[in-house]
Amino acid sequence: TLNSLLVEMDGFDGQAGVIVIAATNRADVLDAALLRPGRFDRQVFVDLPDLRGREAVLTVHAKRFQMAPSVDLQRIARITTGMSGADLANLLNEAALHAGRRNRDKVEMCDVEEARDKIAHGRERRKGADQEDLRKTAYHEAGHAIIGRLVPEHDPVHKVTIIPRGRALGVTQYLPEEDR
């Protein structure tokens, strides 16, 4: 389809009155032939949603699922800084899958938390960490949590885990008061 599109675009003249609109959230993987001068004269970049935008996107996507009263979309918006609309839709899809695996009728906040951890840090690794590694990781993450608590300007600690995920042995997550 890319070659067909390029051939058609090469056949346009400046007066044809044809407008081609395209969108992607992965411009880094586009074929260089699409990006040559003259192909697309204007590029409009859309920033990632801010806190209010993320909450609005979550509200739209949450309508597709049965949500438990524990699900707080504003809190989810706070812990998803840097996520696009597509990322937020994926987050709720993953949360619904997690709830389904647990035989729940509704998506709970713990399902959303699990989905966020999976998306942000990778799948949970069951093997690899012995008790000594877990102990060292606990001390390390506790250090992050203590400093986060003692520094007045720091965002509050949201979650501390020593469950290995992806390449991380543990993670300390913060709950931003506002987007930065």
Structure tokens that stand for 151 in this block: 């520094």
The β-bridge relationship of strands 171-174 and 157-161 is antiparallel
The beta-carbon contacts of 59-64 under 8 Å, at least 24 apart in sequence, are: 61/88, 61/89, 61/92, 62/92, 64/92
Whether 132 is catalytic is no
Given 141, 153, 177, 178, the catalytic residue: 141
**CA-CA distances (angstroms) from residue 97 to 54, 64, 92, 103, 108?**
21, 13, 9, 10, 11
Active site members: 141
